[in-house]
Chains A and B, each alone.
Chain A
Amino acid sequence: MSESMNIEHYPQTRRSMLFRSGSAVGMTGLAAAMADTGRLHADTTALDSPFHLPARAKRVIFLFMNGAPSHVDTFDPKPDLAKYEGQQPSGKLYKPSSGSGFMPSPFRFSPHGESGVVMSELFPQMSAHADDLCVIRSMHTNVPNHEPGLLMMHCGNLQPIRPCLGSWASYGLGSENRNLPSFVALSPGRPVVGPQLWSSSFLPGEHQGVSVDTNETDVEKLIANIRSGTVAPSQQRSQLDLLLRLNQMHAQQRQQEAILEEQIRAMEMAWLMQGEASEAFDISREDQATRDRYGSTPFGQSCLLARRLCERGVRFVQVYYVTKTGKQPWDTHSSNNDGHRKLCADSDKATAALLHDLKLRGLLEDTLVVWTGEFGRTPYSQLDKNKSMKNAGRDHHHTAFSTVLAGGGIRGGMMYGESDEFGMNAVQNRVHVHDLHATMLHLMGIDHTQLTYRWSGRDFRLTDVHGKVVHDIIS
């Protein structure tokens, strides 16, 4: 009575491929699964991605300015703000301005490099890299609230139930270095929203960002369980040898059982990782001059750590600009100008040092660096009760902001897109966050419409049903 079933007809899900694949440890993710089924050359470090696009970026450093930097004070000069200073903006606003109307930036903007990329005086060191930078001035996102804005920028969705960009990259491309995690999130303390920003959500847990609290500098504190607190390495090595012997005898009675082999390999790898990760995460191995160039701030040291990790093949590093006292220091509702002076000084130094080092090592070519916030800030002011312009701030602004990219196949020395004369709305060559995501995946060799995961009855992707690759900014 039962319909004859051809067991070949049962599709191997990516997950089941992962379960059954002998070498799924280390080089994990879709790439590993495909390699195991003979559809991909095992060497994922090759520039050919499994998605038939040439990969320009092998790895990504995502520098995140938590709280949202002001575009009109950083990368999007609006001289007309001076002309219209004090006028209330018209049109539909998120909420009525309680401020004094349009507020010009006090910072001087000038072109830099041969290409003439314009940036404000707040970036004296990054400006030396102008010819490597692509500034998108026409970014926009869905809402001017931090939480959904952060989730959109990280996960392409306003609610916290989707994998983040780094997890998708890890899932799509696997790890470049089997002894290190493929995706690391560096934050001194926790940013707003927190772990959802590096969550793998419904993707397998191994693609979750390994989160590292960069308030710590000791390697033992940076990575969970990287070292035993009580056992000497030589003793642990004997313990491991015993363990491997026990596991071998166990496996001998259960010949060719793939899951046992996987466990054995994972144990060996953990041992290797203890060595390699200890070294990779240890910025004290950098000379003092180098450490100074990045700045002694948590963000500076995080950028330095990001470089070390990328040098060793970590696929995706997220670096958060968070301080011990502030989960979103760039949220300058008051004292916008002073705030930006301090924040940019720190961020400029660290970012420039990172770009410099990557370039020096030839890594900038295939490392994509992204500098952004979750949205921008209003071109008009926000005042406190005293109505003092001295403490004037800027409010959240999502219909225009700026994002800076460098390396990894990005066309340097370029300004792309435009916001209107006030910086209110992106008008020319508008780039939505989905488009940024599509472009980032594209640079990594992934067609954003092809990288999908079947969950809850349908195929999900980072860009949902949206996203357009911005080809104009690719070199």
Chain B
Amino acid sequence: MLRLHGLRCLMALSCLTIQARATDEGIEFFEKRIRPVLAEHCYRCHAAEFNEAKGGLTVDTREGLQRGGESGPAVVPGSPEDSLLLEALRYESLEMPPSGPLTKAQIADFETWISMGAPDPRDTVAMKISSREVVQIDWPAARQFWAFQKPRQEHPELATGAVIDLQVRTRLNEHQLTPNPPATPQVLLRRLCLTLTGLPPAPEQSAAFLAAAEQNLDAAVSELTSSLLASPQFGEHWAAMWLDISRYAEDQAHIVGNDKALFFPNAWRYRDWVISAFNTDLPYDQFVRLQLAADMVTPDDPADDVALGFIGLGPKYYRRNAPDVMADEWEDRVDVVTRGLLGLTVACARCHDHKFDPIPTEDYYALAGVFASTEMWNRPLNEDTKAEKNGHASNPDEALHIIRDQKVRDVNVYIRGNVENPGEIVPRRFLQILCDAPPVPFAQGSGRLELAEQIISADNPLAARVIVNRVWAALFGRGLAGTPSNFGALGERPTHPVLLDELASRLMQNNWSLKWLISEIVATRTWQQSSDLQAAAMEADPANLLLWRMNRRRLTVEQWRDSLLSVSGRLAAEIGGKSIQPDAPDGDRRTIYSERSRFQLNPLLAMYDLPDPNAHAASRIRTTTPLQKLFVLNHPFMEHQATALAELIRTQTTELPDQVDLAYQRVYLRQPLAEERSLGVQFVENNGWELYAQALLAANEFLILD
């Protein structure tokens, strides 16, 4: 459409409407020769009647035709050669109608008609055309929207855990619902371990916790929580969330021939940095600051620069450096920053003012300018690395894939997103809706650091809310706001707005510590309740928006595959390093280390809903398909784990019923029921341990988290 309506830069809509002289003869000509043709060929796309104004143009009123669209007036009465409409009908610049040109006679009629002064009796007022010039945002009114209000604290006197339980209880009471009783210690144990570290408890950890829980459950939970938060497996688990957000990948969707020049063979260094950031509990504000501007924050410490992979590992598209392709790349950068860190869909404003949120197109290009002022940089890994004149490592294998400022500049608005139709230049600056005063243009280089500072400023109502909501979603299976990357008008309103605000405020007060946030939440009654169903509550709130129970969930692909490796005793303890293929049968590293490919995502990851790393992912979807089960039944990876588990059980004890007990303990953290034990014994006698172990690993109890 950009092409068909490839409109030239005639932005001003200030043309005077010249009242055509409506002589009777002229009107008759219009009615006979012009109106039917307009109606037949043009109205479908250009009529208020059909609510269609492609290119901003309507032709079903006199005013609409003469005011024209984004290219300027369509008809200049008396002046056929200045009338864009005629040009388009002649297929000279635009080509209208797109289905094929009108007949020569018809086109001649339009010429005659315009020469006559374009008589047109249609007096209806044209529909209002949205145009960047026309739209006025009432900023004070727009700021009334919940997400643009600063988080408020209603209960500063209460402890954080108490606020959570109180707010959840209050909302349940409003709907005459009651929360579930606490989950059993066994369930809590598995839940805590899998949610905090992505791994099931080790047998000795399990025994210690259950013994301690008998004495004092709260103390046992608290102690286990602390030890899980302190373990290096914590970062390995939580990094997955960030890799989804940052659309982490190691290659490109477009590969021409076998050209790997645009690949990121050292992407894993960024992944290691993310893992370590979670493990050291790097304050979230600093986490964001470094990922956007490490080179500017700590210019003397290049070690932090690996964090810049947040942008530097973004997609590089085919034919890059062509203006339209670079415009697509800017969109990726703006999108990952704004949806990822702010919960705003700013990229929607690339071609037009945002239709639902107070984000004018200028704001999009104000941010695009920041990224237009940077380049993707393959920084040589060290001083000895061979580099080109332009500072890029000669070989991507020896490079850190980051960004650096280059050709700092402001960019034009592209009207309707069309790079061939530049509008005015917009200074690089932050979003207007998130600034109390008119935003100050960025002055330091590309402005990345200033952008980061604005994002994590205490005055920004969104950054803390967005990350709190993501952590909540990771812990509960659903965020307090159901659309984690869209807090705008089309996003869902938070189910517990007061609670979201409290947590956002407190996160900032607690030095943006995510470990603090997580430990507060898992200590609550709300988080520790059982996942059992209540008939009445199911009726009233089937989606459990009000949190009358813990959501029962399928494990993520990482949790599930890591659990398999863990219970079969094969999990490697090594932290960090290069990527693996997760479906290699003898693989033993955690799933976080899987290569994420934009070209072809590993089938195991794709099958279990790892998001496509071509773009930021707001959250994981969870599908249930027979192909997943075919993997479980038939893939050598599963057979490998089953064999290892069987071997491990057999070497630990000899009597068959004891072996079954041991397997249940190891895989499900409990004793089997009598029937389960006898089923197991019988099955092993007939079919052997390997098939039995595989069945235990394939069963729902292993896959689902209560």
Contact = CB atoms under 8 A, between A and B. Distances in A.
B625 A147 contact: no
Contact of B317 (A159, A179, A236, A246): A159
Interface string B317-337: 111000000001000000100
B439 interface: no
Nearest to B492: A10
A20 B542 contact: yes
Interface stretch (A45-53, A104-112, A264-272, A384-392): A264-272
Given A160-B254, A239-B687, A239-B691, A257 B552 contact: yes
A428 B612 CA distance: 40
Interface string B585-604: 00000000000001111010
A430 B99 contact: yes
Given A20-B543, A246-B701, A25 B626 contact: yes
B631 interface: yes
B630 A226 contact: yes
A378 to B, nearest CB: 20
Contacts of B386: none
A25 B679 contact: no
Given A204-B621, A260-B704, A457 B612 contact: no
B688 to A, nearest CB: 9
Interface string B531-560: 111000010111101100000111000000
A335 interface: no
Contact of A194 (B255, B621, B627): B255
B254 A251 contact: no
Contact of B626 (A148, A246, A269, A468): A269
Contacts of B673: 249
Given A229-B634, A429-B99, A456-B335, A263 B533 contact: no
A417 B99 CA distance: 9
What 4 A-B pairs have minimum CB-CB distances, sorted nearest first? A457-B345, A270-B629, A160-B253, A225-B630
Contact of B600 (A10, A159, A195): A195
Interface in A219-272: 224-231, 235-236, 238-240, 242-243, 245-247, 249-251, 254-257, 259-260, 262-264, 266-267, 269-272
Contacts of A271: 633
A82 to B, nearest CB: 26
Nearest to A251: B700
A318 interface: no
Contact of A5 (B486, B495, B543, B700): B495
A454 B339 CA distance: 14
Contacts of A230: 639
Contacts of A254: 531-533, 552, 706
B202 interface: no
Nearest to B619: A15
A247 B498 CA distance: 40
Nearest to A192: B256
B493 A428 contact: no
A262 to B, nearest CB: 4
A206 interface: yes
A270 B624 CA distance: 11
Nearest to B152: A1
Given A7-B175, A226-B630, A456-B615, A2 B552 contact: no
Contacts of B540: 7
A199 B633 contact: no
Nearest to A239: B691
A428 B691 CA distance: 66
19 contacts: A2-B498, A5-B493, A7-B495, A7-B541, A7-B545, A20-B542, A24-B624, A160-B598, A161-B253, A194-B599, A201-B612, A205-B607, A206-B625, A206-B627, A224-B631, A255-B533, A270-B626, A456-B345, A464-B1
Contact of B174 (A4, A18, A24): A4
Contact of A243 (B355, B627, B699): B699
A464 B698 CA distance: 41
Name the interface size band of chain A: 35 or more
A266 B625 contact: yes
A273 B348 contact: no
B634 A466 contact: no
Contacts of A272: 626
A427 interface: yes
B606 A259 contact: no
A1 B498 contact: yes
Given A20-B543, A25-B624, A254-B532, A159 B629 contact: no
B100 interface: yes
B312 interface: no
A138 B409 CA distance: 43
A208 interface: yes
A247 B482 contact: no
Interface string B297-320: 000000000000000000101110
B331 to A, nearest CB: 9
A210 interface: yes
Name the interface size band of chain B: 35 or more
Contacts of B154: 1
B675 A266 contact: no
B628 interface: yes
Interface string A125-149: 0000000000000000010010110
Interface string B259-300: 000000000000000000000000000000000000000000
Contacts of B497: 2-3
Of listed A142, A145, A205, A465, residue having the most chain B CB within 10 A = A205
B255 A242 contact: no
A458 interface: yes
B520 interface: no
A372 interface: no
Contacts of B99: 429-430, 468
A270 B628 CA distance: 8
Given A1-B498, A147-B318, A259-B624, A427 B609 contact: no
A274 B703 CA distance: 22
Contacts of A259: 552-554, 624, 704
Contact of B1 (A208, A224, A454, A466): A466
Given A160-B253, A238-B683, A243-B699, A269 B676 contact: no
Given A7-B541, A260-B700, A465 B609 contact: no
Of listed A2, A238, A240, residue having the most chain B CB within 10 A = A2
Given A148-B318, A465-B1, A273 B630 contact: yes
Contact of A250 (B624, B628, B636, B701): B701
B348 A266 contact: no
Nearest to A236: B633
A371 interface: no
A133 B686 CA distance: 60
B612 A273 contact: no
Nearest to B495: A5
Nearest to B488: A457
Given A147-B319, A259-B553, 12 more contacts: A7-B541, A7-B543, A10-B543, A194-B255, A196-B599, A206-B623, A250-B701, A255-B533, A269-B629, A272-B626, A273-B630, A466-B1
